[in-house]
């Protein structure tokens, strides 16, 4: 019975998540928790579009709309740095 419990504990602690690591693989749950505790979460850099121009200048508004026509909302991705060593300040 203890052997079955040890196997379940080992397999349960190694669940693979859908979060990518810096090395390119998928992170285990334990790696995700460790990365959170040691400042190892890396967020993708995404730039939001500039705000629309203020005022009543229709040419500026049209130019802003043309420049931002193909802008898509950023998809936020998180990567896990399994080698992070900086402890969480909280």
Query: What's residue 8's pLDDT?
Result: 73
Give the residue among 77, 73, 75, 85 at the shortest CA–CA distance from 18. Answer: 77
pLDDT tens figures, 33-70 = 888 888 777 765 545 667 888 888 889 888 888 888 77
Range of the domain at 29: 15-46+54-80
Neighbours of 61 (CB within 10 A): 14
Q: Within a domain: residue 1?
A: no
Q: How many domains does the chain have?
A: 1
pLDDT tens figures, 18-30 = 777 777 788 888 8
Give the residue among 24, 3, 28, 33 at the shortest CA–CA distance from 13. Answer: 28
pLDDT tens figures, 8-17 = 777 666 677 7
Q: Within a domain: residue 36?
A: yes
Q: Within a domain: residue 26?
A: yes
pTM for the predicted model, two decimal places = 0.44
Q: Within a domain: residue 66?
A: yes
Q: Within a domain: residue 5?
A: no
Query: What's residue 72's pLDDT?
Result: 65
């Amino acid at each position: 019975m203890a052997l079955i419990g040890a196997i379940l504990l080992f397999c349960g602690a190694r669940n693979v998540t859908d979060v990518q690591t810096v090395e390119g693989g998928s992170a285990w749950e334990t790696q995700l928790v460790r990365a959170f505790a040691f400042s190892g979460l890396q967020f993708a850099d995404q730039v939001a579009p500039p705000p629309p121009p203020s005022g009543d200048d229709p040419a500026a508004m049209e130019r802003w709309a043309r420049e931002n026509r193909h802008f898509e909302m950023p998809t936020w991705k998180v990567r896990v740095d399994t080698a992070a060593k900086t402890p969480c300040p909280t």
